Amino acid sequence: MTQVKPMRADARRNYERLLKAAVEAFAAHGEGASLDDIAKRAGVGSGTLYRHFPTRQALLEAAYLDRIEALALRAHEIARERPPGRALGEWLGELGLGLIQVRGLKSLLGTAVTGDGSAVATACGTRLTAAAERLVRAAQAEGTLRQDVEPVEILRLTHGLATASELAGGGRPDVRRYLTLLTEGLRPGR
């Protein structure tokens, strides 16, 4: 078994700055964003970028995975701070915005949720599904979410919500509007 050597502190900082710059660049310019510009935004040379990410695809996947992990982590943070039904609604709003803000992330989510795609897409789907599972089951136990709703359905609906919101302008008010329409239909009958 090969030992993975931990990154030096400066290498780790460069890696994190590159990921942050990549997410911003991909959000602004799509998947074709200039890698040289990403390196400049991160304050590193192109050689450093290529040492960490030998291909554009590797950088895209790492940026998407980083964003997905942040969204999944956010689900757990919100779950500690809010009652279950409210936590689910707040997280779905953040997830919807996240899908709009990072171009290409929506299609990655769609692939991950349907089970097709790369190992990274599958890992992303697994992380989001686990986060959704926790929030969905808690909201169902609380009685604020229908019992027949599955976590993967919530993710698929949020993917659609992000697409609809983007067509309407893609801002926070659009996401909130569509999320309200969606969540009203997910509540148990009275």
Domain boundaries, the chain: 7-54, 56-186
Give the model's pLDDT for residue 130.
94
pTM exceeds 0.85, yes or no: no
Q: Which CATH superfamily is domain 56-186 in?
A: Tetracycline Repressor, domain 2 (1.10.357.10)
Q: What is the pLDDT of residue 85?
A: 94
Rg from Cα positions in the chain:
18
Any long-range contacts for 26-30 (C-beta under 8 Å, 24+ apart)? 26/60, 26/63, 26/102, 26/103, 26/104, 27/101, 27/102, 27/103, 30/103, 30/104
Which helix (DSSP H) or strand (DSSP E) does residue 95 occupy? helix 84-101
pLDDT of residue 107: 59
Task: Tell me the Ramachandran region of residue 146: left when phi exceeds 0, alpha when psi lies from -120 to 50, beta otherwise.
Answer: beta
Alpha carbons within 13 angstroms on the beta-carbon side of residue 48 total 19
Residues of the chain falling short of pLDDT 70: 1-5, 102-118, 120-121, 190
- Dist CA 103 CA 97 (whole Å): 11
Burial group, residue 163, by CB count within 10 angstroms (0-12, 13-18, 19+): middle
In whole angstroms, what is the distance from residue 108 CA to residue 133 CA? 19
Written as one letter, the residue type at 16 is E
Alpha carbons 116 and 134: distance in angstroms, whole number: 23
What was the pLDDT predicted at 178?
87
What's residue 115's pLDDT? 52
CATH class of 7-54: mainly alpha
Contact 57, 113 (CB under 8 A): no
pLDDT of residue 35: 94
Only one residue has tokens 């609380």, namely 142
